[in-house]
Amino acid sequence: MSASVSVATVVRDLAASRAIDLEIVAGASGLDRRITNPHPQKTGLALSGFDQYLREGRVLVFGESEVRFLESLPPPDRSAVMRRVLSHALPCVVVTDDLRPVPEIAKEADAAGVPLMRTRSATPLAMARLSAALEAYLAPRGTVHGVLMDILGLGVLIVGESGIGKSECALDLVVRGHRLIADDAVELRCRAESFVIGSCPELTRHHMEIRGLGLINVQDLFGVASTRRSKRVEMVVQLERWDAGREYDRLGLDETYYETLGVRIPMIRMPVAPGRNLAILVEVAARNQLLRLGGHNSAQRLVERLDEQLGSDVSDLEFGEDL
């Protein structure tokens, strides 16, 4: 089932956040209609007969050009046009620029049970803020078992089997001055189809489970600077039991990815063994990833220097043979 949100929820939350003012003009009986697409549509062609381009589940926006066009039509034609447009199972219609819709628009909206709303905002601003709000509601979502940390401004998701030491590693990182976003259950949502935002369920926010200690409140213990509400996931560290018979990457040249919600995120597999300080290793991995994002790849530079040195040695050898 695709994600959706009711018109009533959007109107309520936008009013609470003051992102955009929406005045319900007509069609209040349809506030339970569902919005399924975060991108509002604005197509004047629909009013002139090309209504096949209208998409169900998307908010329809009327700007000045659409309102003026309807005003230019005789009243019976206005009703016929709106009746045809509203037959496409649209969730709602928003009139921008504080324009007052002609009576026929409101009458047909009431008859079809489609909420008709008005805002003082200009069309571009209204569409941008509606789209931003709807993306938050309709973004693909998921939950993963792990810990999400903010390490030097980099969102690091630590995953691995139960009992491997994810929470203990996170607690050590908090002691070192880094920030906890979520422990145990990390809620993920995809934004703009290109990056993933992680957060914590409201019920368990700021809490962490440590075997032997039980539940602790990180914010109470370490202060408000030790936590944050959400963070973009930019790297994944997968903790794994040490396997003596397995070959591990020793140069850091292999690129592996963690895929979730259709987005690929750089991943590091970190073997866990007695004597390894996981917190320091994860912190260094984060620092190294920040360097890579800045265009500095230490492993690649070393390999290039080795290739140059080998090439130089071969050239010297060939030159000596010619002598």
* Parts of the chain with a pLDDT under 70: 1-2, 251-252, 312-323
Please, how many CA atoms are within 13 Å of residue 313, restricted to the half-sphere of its CB? 6
Among 51, 97, 110, 184, the one annotated catalytic? 184
For residue range 50-88, list pLDDT tens digits in order: 777 788 899 999 999 999 999 999 999 999 999 999 998
Q: Annotated catalytic, 32?
A: no
- Angle at 279 (CA atoms; ends 275, 284), nearest 5 degrees: 105
Token duo for residue 152? 């030097």
Distance CA 154, CA 175 (A): 17
pLDDT, position 52: 79
pLDDT, position 316: 59
Domains and their CATH numbers in the chain? 5-137 (3.40.1390.20), 139-300 (3.40.50.300)
Environment class of residue 68 by beta-carbon count within 10 Å: exposed (0-12), middle (13-18) or buried (19+)?
exposed
Q: Which long-range contacts (CB under 8 A, 24 or more apart) does 98-102 make?
A: 99/62, 99/63, 99/64, 99/67, 101/25, 101/62, 101/67, 101/70, 102/67, 102/70, 102/71, 102/78
Distance CA 206, CA 180 (A): 7
Among 12, 39, 100, 145, the one annotated catalytic? 145
pLDDT, position 114: 94
> Which is it for strands 235-241 and 263-272: parallel, antiparallel or unpaired?
parallel
Do residues 105 and 70 touch, judged by C-beta distance below 8 A? yes
Among 166, 178, 207, 228, the one annotated catalytic? 166
Which amino acid is located at 60 in the chain?
Answer: L
Q: Annotated catalytic, 166?
A: yes
pLDDT, position 199: 94
Distance CA 192, CA 134 (A): 11
Token duo for residue 298? 């230490």
Beta strand extents in 63-153 (DSSP E only): 93-95, 116-118, 141-151
Nearest to 146 by CA among 129, 135, 165, 160: 160
Q: Annotated catalytic, 145?
A: yes
Environment class of residue 307 by beta-carbon count within 10 Å: exposed (0-12), middle (13-18) or buried (19+)?
exposed
For residue range 285-299, list pLDDT tens digits in order: 999 999 988 888 777
> pTM of the predicted model, to two decimals?
0.70
Compute the residue count for the chain: 323
Looking up tokens 């998701």, which residue turns up? Answer: 157
Looking up tokens 């996170």, which residue turns up? Answer: 170
pLDDT, position 320: 56
pLDDT, position 313: 61
φ, ψ of residue 58 in degrees (nearest 5): -110, 140
Q: Annotated catalytic, 250?
A: yes
